[in-house]
């Protein structure tokens, strides 16, 4: 098994002992992305801005491996407060319009850096 570690300065650096993403074969597993600005490392203030930034960070990592949002087959959304589901879903839907990936969404008690949302995904290279 060939495992390729993915890293780009266009997305926030990992804040622990993990990689931004790992490619194995035709699959790319992206670690959960917070709403951190990649240039400043500062967490965006509200759920809307954090969601947009987390999705932008995912987009930057996908671009680094030659993919885009259309290659995402599965996402998991972690929310601090499930009452934010509607707004997060609206922003998410603007990114994943056609052929949306499979998705899970769960409420969690706490996220790193006290973030309000974290999104992870799996993408696949076309055959």
Contacts of 17 (CB under 8 A, 6+ apart): none
Q: Kindly name the residue from 105, 111, 122, 124 that is annotated as catalytic.
A: 105
For residues 21 and 63, what is the distance between their CA atoms, to the nearest angstrom? 12
**Residue 46 φ/ψ, nearest 5 degrees:** -120, 170
Q: How many CA atoms lie within 13 A of 9 on its CB side?
A: 2
Q: Does the annotation mark 121 as catalytic?
A: no
User: Token pair 């879903």 is at which residue?
Assistant: 89
For residues 40 and 38, what is the distance between their CA atoms, to the nearest angstrom? 6
| Catalytic residue IDs | 105
């Amino acid at each position: 098994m060939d495992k390729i570690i993915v890293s780009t300065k266009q997305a926030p650096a990992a804040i622990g002992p993990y990689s931004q993403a790992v490619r194995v074969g035709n699959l790319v597993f992206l670690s959960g992305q917070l709403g951190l600005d990649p240039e400043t490392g500062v967490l965006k203030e509200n759920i809307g801005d954090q969601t947009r930034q987390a999705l932008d960070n995912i987009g930057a990592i996908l671009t680094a491996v030659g993919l885009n949002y259309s290659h995402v087959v599965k996402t998991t959304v972690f929310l601090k407060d499930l009452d934010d589901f509607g707004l997060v879903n609206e922003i998410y839907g603007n990114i994943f319009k056609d052929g949306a990936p499979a998705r899970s969404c769960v409420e969690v008690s706490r996220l790193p850096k006290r973030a309000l949302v974290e999104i992870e995904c799996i993408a696949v290279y076309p055959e």
